[in-house]
Structure formats: structure tokens, C-alpha cells
Copies of this chain bind each other. A is one copy, B any other.
Amino acid sequence: MSVPPRYRAKSRVDVSGEESRAKAVAVATELFALTGFKGTSVAAVAARTGLSQSGLLHHFPSKAALLTAVLEERDRQDGDFLAGSAGPPLGWAAFDALAALVARNSTRPHLVGLFVRLAAEATEPAHPAHTWVREHYSGLQRWLGDAVRSGQERGEIAADAPVGSIVRTTIAVIDGLQQQWLLQPDEVSMTAEFEAFAGTLRARWAR
């Protein structure tokens, strides 16, 4: 089947732009994780991506925009990880999925450090990643809240378990453990602590 040339041309341009964009995000993730946000220049990201600096700035108007894209990509990947191949995990299985995510994070200190520092900075409403950080938390709360409510419907979590509290505290434990782990990597096992916490929740609210 023949396709009008201008559509093919347009399609090639889009694909190439999308590829450059994705490559820049991958390069920036690696550099931010290795040398930090402040220690990474837009020029270095452009060079490794194979773009001119103005070419990179065409996709991302600022280093902050690049960082937001890195974090959105991280959320997307974590989202895929949490979603599971057979649909989102329900009930206690969601806590197993979170434990697996925490275990994966334990192998990525630079990325965890980047996330912890950025999420804290971005609590300021004027910060360029403020919208991202708000959506990150509300998205995670929604995902875990849905899982806990499904667990209640399936009868594996007590009907009177306080969903909102369980959700907020579980996310708080993950965040707070990251902070301590970054400071005391040899003393804190995020995975063991998170599993112990999930075990306590289960002992209290499993039906």
C-alpha cells in the first residue's frame, strides 16, 4: 500500500524527534545519578545524546525541564513495575510489589538520592518540579488505595482497616527509609525494614 510522501516524511521526523528526546532522558538520568543535578551540565547531556545544545533545548527548554522528564520517566518505569504483567496487584500483593520496588531501589543509590533531594526541594510551590511531585504522590496514593480497597472487597483485608492511613503511612515509611539509608547505607536495609513494616500491617489488618 502506498502512503503519501508527506505523511511518511512527517512520520520520520516525529520518530526521530521522539528518539532524540528519549535518548536525552536516558543520558540525563545516567548523568544526574552519577554527578548529581548541579554537577551535570546541559552541554554534557547534549554531547552524549549526539545533539547540539540548542537541539537539546528544543526538546527541554531548561535543565529543570530535563529533570522533570527524568522523574516522569522514572515514575512511568516504576508504574510499569508496580502494574505487573497481569494487571495491578490487589490487596496484600500490592505490598509485595512495593517490597520488590524497594529492593530494586536498594541497588540504585544515586537515583534514590536524586529523587529524595528533588522531592524535598519541590515541596516549594515555586519549584519547577512542584507539579510533578504533587502528581507523583497523588498517583501513588491512588494506586495503593485502590489495591487496599480491592483487598477489602476480596476479604483479605479487614473491612474496618483505615485505608487512607495505611496508604499514607506505607508511602511515608518508604520515603523515610530512603532518607536514613542514604545516610547510613551499611546500617539500614530498606528491604528488610519495609518487609517488617508490611508484616506488622498484615498482622494487624489481615482477615
Contacts and interface: CB of A to CB of B under 8 A. Distances in A.
A171 interface: yes
Contacts of A124: 36, 113, 117
Contact of A168 (B174, B175, B180): B180
Interface residues on A, range: 35 or more
A176 interface: yes
Interface in A160-179: 162, 165, 168-169, 171-177, 179
Given A116-B123, A120-B121, A137-B184, A174 B176 contact: yes
Contacts of A168: 177, 180, 188, 193
A63 to B, nearest CB: 17
A65 interface: no
Residue picked from A119, A183, A192, most chain B C-beta under 10 Å: A183
Given A113-B123, A119-B120, A184-B137, A193 B169 contact: yes
Given A121-B120, A124-B113, A203-B204, A176 B183 contact: no
Given A137-B183, A165-B197, 5 more contacts: A116-B123, A137-B180, A169-B176, A172-B177, A173-B176
11 contacts: A36-B124, A113-B123, A117-B123, A117-B124, A169-B196, A172-B179, A173-B173, A173-B176, A175-B179, A200-B201, A204-B204
Interface of A: 36, 113, 116-117, 119-121, 123-124, 133-134, 137-138, 162, 165, 168-169, 171-177, 179-180, 182-184, 188, 192-193, 196-197, 200-201, 203-204
A-B CB proximity, top 7 nearest: A172-B176, A120-B120, A175-B176, A176-B176, A123-B182, A165-B196, A172-B177
